[in-house]
A and B are shown apart, each in its own frame.
Chain A
């Protein structure tokens, strides 16, 4: 079963606006990662935040992690049409004695020029 649930499932904004996507998960994690997937393409790693970190920035991306609430958010500031893609959170942890990464349900972001 999916580890993470993301909301919203779909988001449509105007270019220049900020986009916020949220991810909730169920079990303990070592880290949480965000990925982007353009339509029909592979996954692009955006940012990783470790379980002992609360916030991380990378360019126009800001990620927060609240382990007490088992949730994370991805903020894209000053969005561009090229940001149109699906965004997935992925949690890494130990399950059944093995390290594994499991993905959330994803948010489809559309940035309108």
Chain B
């Protein structure tokens, strides 16, 4: 199993600013993923964070808006840039271990 922590747990940001979310896994994992969960909705995959190469983004998500870093096998960051109220969501980091997916507790972002 893997234990995943995220920082910050929540934040309130002003329109036009950026927020960087950190994700730390307690063991080395090959795959790390970032999801967005809008209010009352299911989880949508933003991108797969690849160690040593650029992230792979899903349709509708672009690197300029959601830059991702993956400097090693236990850590990743997601930045949500040029914030607007529509970005208010929970952002979750996850990592695969075997065939099971583990999730961080999420970061609740509110954009004013």
A residues with a Cβ closer than 8 A to B are 1-2, 30-31, 33, 35, 40-43, 45, 48, 50, 88, 90, 92, 96, 98-106
How far is B108's CA from A35's CA once the two chains are assembled, in angstroms? 19
For A35, the chain B residues whose CB sits under 8 A away are 103
| Chain A proximity of B59: nearest CB distance (Å) | 8
A11 to B105, CA, bound (A): 25
A107 vs B99: C-alpha distance in the bound complex, in angstroms? 23
Can you give 23 contacting A-B residue pairs, CB < 8 Å?
Answer: A2-B42, A30-B99, A33-B100, A33-B101, A41-B106, A42-B92, A42-B104, A43-B92, A45-B102, A45-B103, A50-B99, A90-B43, A92-B99, A98-B48, A98-B56, A99-B96, A100-B45, A100-B48, A101-B45, A103-B35, A103-B44, A103-B45, A106-B42
| A92-B33 Cα distance, complex, nearest whole Å | 13
**Do residues B42 and A105 form an inter-chain contact, with CB atoms below 8 A?**
yes
Q: B94 contacts which chain A residues (CB < 8 A)? A: 101
**Residue of B31, B45, B59, B94 with highest tally of chain A CB at under 10 A:** B45
Chain A binding surface, main DSSP class = strand
Binding site secondary structure of chain B: strand
Q: Interface residues of B toward A: which range?
A: 20 to 34
Q: Is the CB of B103 within 8 A of A43?
A: yes
Chain B nearest CB, measured from A86 CB (Å): 9
Q: Is the CB of B104 within 8 A of A103?
A: no
Asked whether, in the complex, the Cβ of A88 is within 8 Å of the Cβ of B105, the reply is no
